[in-house]
């Protein structure tokens, strides 16, 4: 085993091999024939793959350089650890770091701009996971942890972890929904429960890529996990539906070029209203008076962040904040007064809280 793990460039061969197997399955299932992918998607994801490989090597080299200069006595200090405990130790730390980093990318605006491209994909696919800006990869804490663990002598565990992660991540981004069969068979359903409560499944992760919550499946503000679903379960962001989103991508997408997506903030988008455009600033669009309207039967997404330009409804502007839209179900057509000031205690309906905004001090 250790001889195999020590083969030069084995990590690259394994990653490319796993991508090739899943890519072949996608091809045989006919996904590329009906694909609406643009050349920009292919360029972005192909270069994204190279960016990840380059950044990983850069980080490992930086860790080794700094480690040998500052803490030379720590070099390979853990190399006597046996493979299994070292592997579990490495992988759990890697995965919890990635969970919080990914979650932060959805909750903090400056980091969202580097992850937004990941969610601009209108279709899933084996290379979708390589859509992030270069800065996003450079700051990824688990890539640094991989370098540190290798420096400490856990190289074989890091490599094994890479294989496990690559299989899970490629499968959860792939258009091949291998878990669907588990949900449809009565006999296999208990297995589905066990699998989805340990590992991230395609259904679980596809929901994270879904366009918005109105299909009752998608939750782009949840399901942040990478390999294991326990962090989402533990920190209250898991949503298991065993279904797949009605649509993928961003609610508002100006169609930025791959150069801006990958190289922001060094290259900015020239597209009107782009979040990664020059001088773009989020601004509140809350109003004072409620919207008097007739709501037809259906599902509505009520804006809670106040940034949406389609008030009082959500247009996806909450990305990069801790807000998410409220899903409102209307069973029967009705007249309603919808709050636009966001001060109401009974959202989405107006409770006259906006009067406090216009009251003159005595
Ligand atoms: Zn995400």
pLDDT of residue 37: 87
- Is pLDDT at 362 greater than 60 in this prediction? no
pLDDT of residue 2: 64
A 10 A CB-CB count for 343 gives 17
Residue 229 exposure: Cα atoms within 13 Å on the Cβ side: 21
Average of pLDDT values for 78-106?
A: 97
Ligand 1 centroid – CA 284 distance (Å): 23
* 345 vs 350: CA distance, rounded Å: 8
Question: What's the pTM value of the predicted model, to 2 decimals?
Answer: 0.94
5-14, 161-170, 256-265: the lowest-pLDDT one: 5-14
How many percent of the chain have pLDDT more than 90? 87
Average of pLDDT values for 16-28?
A: 94
Average of pLDDT values for 84-95?
A: 97
Q: At what angle do helices 155-173 and 83-107 cross, to 10 degrees?
A: 50
Q: Which of 8-22, 28-42, 108-122, 272-286 shows the highest mean pLDDT?
A: 108-122
pLDDT of residue 136: 97
Average of pLDDT values for 25-45?
A: 90
Pick from 157, 253, 249: nearest CA to 211? 249
Ligand 1 centroid – CA 293 distance (Å): 34
Ligand 1 centroid – CA 132 distance (Å): 10
Enter the tokens of residue 185. 């068979």
Ligand 1 centroid – CA 203 distance (Å): 14
pLDDT of residue 360: 60
Average of pLDDT values for 322-328?
A: 95
Contact 168, 229 (CB under 8 A): no
């Amino acid at each position: 085993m250790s001889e195999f793990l020590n083969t030069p460039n084995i990590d690259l061969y394994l990653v490319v091999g796993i991508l090739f197997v899943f890519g072949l399955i996608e091809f045989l299932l006919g996904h590329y024939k009906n694909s609406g992918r643009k050349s920009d998607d292919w360029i972005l994801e192909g270069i994204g793959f190279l960016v990840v490989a380059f950044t990983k090597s850069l980080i490992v080299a930086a860790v080794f350089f700094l480690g040998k200069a500052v803490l030379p006595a720590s070099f390979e200090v853990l190399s006597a650890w046996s493979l299994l405990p070292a592997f579990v130790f490495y992988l759990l730390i890697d995965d919890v770091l990635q969970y919080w980093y990914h979650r932060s990318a959805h909750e903090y605006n400056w980091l969202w701009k580097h992850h937004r491209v990941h969610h601009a994909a209108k279709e899933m696919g084996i290379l979708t996971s390589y859509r992030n800006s270069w800065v996003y990869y450079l700051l990824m804490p688990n890539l640094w942890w991989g370098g540190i663990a290798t420096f400490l002598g856990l190289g074989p565990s890091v490599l094994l972890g890479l294989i496990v992660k690559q299989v899970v991540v490629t499968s959860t981004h792939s258009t091949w929904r291998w878990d669907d069969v588990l949900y449809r068979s009565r006999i296999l359903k208990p297995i589905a429960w066990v699998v989805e409560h340990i590992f991230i499944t395609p259904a679980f992760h596809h929901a994270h890529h879904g366009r918005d919550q109105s299909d009752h499946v998608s939750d782009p503000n949840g399901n942040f996990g990478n390999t294991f679903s326990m962090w989402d379960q533990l920190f209250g962001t898991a949503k298991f539906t065993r279904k797949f989103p009605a649509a993928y991508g961003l609610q508002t997408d100006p169609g930025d070029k791959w150069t801006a997506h990958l190289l922001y903030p060094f290259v900015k988008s020239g597209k009107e209203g782009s979040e990664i455009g020059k001088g773009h600033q989020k601004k509140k669009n809350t109003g004072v008076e409620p919207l008097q309207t007739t709501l037809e039967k259906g599902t509505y997404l009520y804006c809670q962040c106040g940034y949406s330009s389609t008030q009082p409804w959500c247009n996806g502007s909450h990305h990069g904040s801790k807000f998410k839209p409220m899903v409102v179900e209307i069973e029967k057509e009705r007249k309603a007064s919808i709050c636009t000031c966001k001060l109401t205690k009974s959202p989405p309906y107006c409770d006259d809280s906006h009067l406090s905004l216009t009251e003159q001090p005595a």
